Structure 1
Amino acid sequence: MTDNKKPNFADRFINSIEWLAAIFVGIVALNIFANVLLRKFFSTSIPDSYDFGRMLLGILIFWGIAATSYRGGHITVDLVWTMVSKNKKRVIDVFATVVLLFVVTVQTVMLFDKVHGTFRDNVQTYDLNIPTWPFYAVAWAGDVCAVILIAIRTWRLVFKPEALHDEHYDDKKVE
């Protein structure tokens, strides 16, 4: 995307997902920070802080998957990719992205089963008896966003590779 173009819906959606993932990082950090301060200075803790921390970490992981799924900047192994021609690089990228789309779609279906199971079984936190299914549902929503972003990436890889946001897509090098 060049600077003179107005971001389209897909680009705004991608940016929103990245901001949400960043907000979840902040929430997890705040939960840990507050709990450490309370334990150190007041010999107490937030009720259900362990359950909240565990579930917030799950949310963070799935929204992090969503945030990193679209961009090509996450850790990759590019040994074969760097040795082939530009057309073959594109074929490898499309294949890898389609496989990722399949895997994350299956993961999303299975996570929905977990959300439904915790709702059906009325699983609650230990101290405050808060239902846990909303936390699982937020994590599942992150996984759904990952599927959408991977689908957008796949479409752009096939039809509009110039619209990708990969850093130096044409000149990735082995580091």
Structure 2
Amino acid sequence: MKRELSLFEAVAAAFLLAIALLTSGNVLLRETLGLQIPDWFDLSRQLQAIAMFWGIALATYRGSHIGVDLLWEHCASAGRRRIDLVATALTLAFLLPLAWMVWVKLGGAGTQATSDLRLPLVWFYAVSAAGVTAAALLAALRLATLWRGGTIVDADGAE
């Protein structure tokens, strides 16, 4: 599982890097030569969606998303487990329909393309759909692991 999570992390990081390079490259070209990278805005939006969905997959499984744990910090381990179970179940309840709708969007993409280069959007939607599906699957795996009383190890090896 550690290998798969590392792969998910690499995918999210690669798309974030692509966004940064695309944006900075476009700004550099615009300020120095008065040119723009064709479709830079459309591409940056699509890449951002992909990076977000793959990042959500990791954050959901590890339970490492940003949050204020005022109540959780003051609970005993049984209370923490209950809070984690409810939070993960709610997350899964939102991710399942989101994944479904992204797949529906992929199915309806048809011949939609970016405005300048006419790149087919179906490929971007497909990678996004895979990411949000991974998020839903990892949420289900986290829920099952917590239900069985297991622990989730984060990237640093801490529980």
- How far apart in 2 are the matches of 1:19 and 1:129? 27
Quote how far apart the aligned CAs of 1:61 are.
1.6
1:110-163 CA-partner distances (Å, limit 9, x unpaired): 1111111112xx211111222111111111111011112212212221225334
Aligned-partner residue type, residue 15 of structure 1: S
Secondary structure at 1:154 match in 2: helix
- The corresponding residue for 1:6 is none
- The equivalences for 1:160-175 within 5 A come to 160-165=149-154, 169=159
The whole-number CA distance in structure 2 between the counterparts of 1:162 and 1:126 is 47
TM-fit CA distance, 1:166: 7.7
Residue 82 of structure 2 aligns with which residue? 91
**CA contact 2:142–2:152 (8 Å) conserved in 1:** no
Partner of 1:50: 41
RMSD of the alignment, in Å? 1.8
Contact residue 153 and residue 164 of structure 1 kept, 8 A: no
Structure 1: gaps of 5 or more residues: 1-9, 170-175
Moved over 6 A (4+): none
CA distance in 2, matches of 1:165, 1:14: 10
> For structure 2, which runs of at least 5 residues remain unmatched after alignment?
none
Structure 1 residue identity aligned to 2:140: A
Identity %: 36
Normalising by structure 1, report the TM-score.
0.82
Kindly tell me the number of residue pairs found equivalent between the two proteins: 158
Distance 1:55 1:163, change over 3 A: closer
